[in-house]
Structure 1
Amino acid sequence: MSLFNTVHLQGIFNKLDKNGDGLVSIDELEWFLNVIGMDVKRDELELLIGEESLNYVDFLLFYETLIKGNIFEQEKRKNEREDEILERDLQKAFRVFDLNDDGFISCEELQSALSRLGLWDESCGQDCRQMINVYDSNSDGLLDFEEFKDMMLLTG
C-alpha cells in the first residue's frame, strides 16, 4: 500500500527538482527525507541509489522501494524507541532533583541537588527561583516533569 499516488509523487518530484532539470539530486532527496523525519545520510543514499540524481521514473522506483522495504515504518519505530529511551532518561534525571518524590522540583530541592552534584556555588549569586521561573510555565514556583523536560530539551 502506498502513502501517495502518482499525482502526489509527481508534485513532490517537481518541488524537489529546484532547478527544473528533470532530476532530483541526492542532496535534494536527503533534505526531503530529513524534513519528513527520516534520519538519512548522503552516503547511505549514494549506496542505495547508486547515482548522483534520479529522474522521475527512478524516483518512483525509489519511493516504491522505500514503501516495500517499509523503511518509513522502520524509521518511525526507531524514532519511537529513541523517544521512549529519552523519556525514561529524563524521568531518572527528574528524580535526582525531586528529592521528596512529590512530582515537583522546588527551589530548595534544586539548590540541594545542584550542591550535591557540585554545580551550585553560593558565591556566584545565582537564584534558584529565577532558574525555575524561566521554565515554570504555570507560574506555581515549581517545576513539574513536563516543565523539566522542556528545560532539558531546550537547553541540552
Structure 2
Amino acid sequence: MSPLSSNDLERIFEKLDKNGDGQVSVEELNWLLERIGVEFSLQEIESLVGKPSLDWNDFLFFYRSISTPDSNDGDNGHGDGSANDHDDESDLVKAFDVFDINGDGFISCEELESVLRRLGVMEENSSRDCRSMIHVYDTNLDGLLDFEEFKHMMLHNTIS
C-alpha cells in the first residue's frame, strides 16, 4: 500500500461524516473501526482522539499521529525496548491483522483492495493497481506483504 494521499484522506473523511456537518464524531469513527474489525468503546475512542468529534484538520492530525512515528516520544530511534516500542509494534500487529483477512501472515493484492474499498479509499471501478502499491514495499518480490514489509511501509509512510 502506498501512503494515503490528502485526496484519499479527504474521501475517507467525507464518507465518515455521514451527517455532513464537517465533523467526524466518535460514533462515525467507531462505524469505520467496526467495518475493519477493530472493536473499541465510544469512551476509548474519545479518549484516543481527545474530543467528541474531529474537524478536517483534527482528522489529519489524528491520522498523522497514528501513522507516523513520533520522534518526540522519548524513543531515541534505536529500538531500546521501551514501552513505546512495544506499543508501536502491538499497534502495527493489529493494523496488519486488519489487512490480513485470511490470517495467513501475508497481505495479498485482493486483501488490500478489499480493505481499501471498505475504507472508501478505492472505488469499485478504480484504476488503481494494488499490485503496484504492494510492489513498492515487497522486498522479496513474492507479490505479498509480510509483517516486516508492512512495518517498513507504515514506518516510512508520508502524506503526499
TM-score normalised per structure 1:
0.49
TM-score normalised per structure 2:
0.47
- Greater helix content: 1
Instruction: Give the structure with higher Rg (CA).
Output: 1
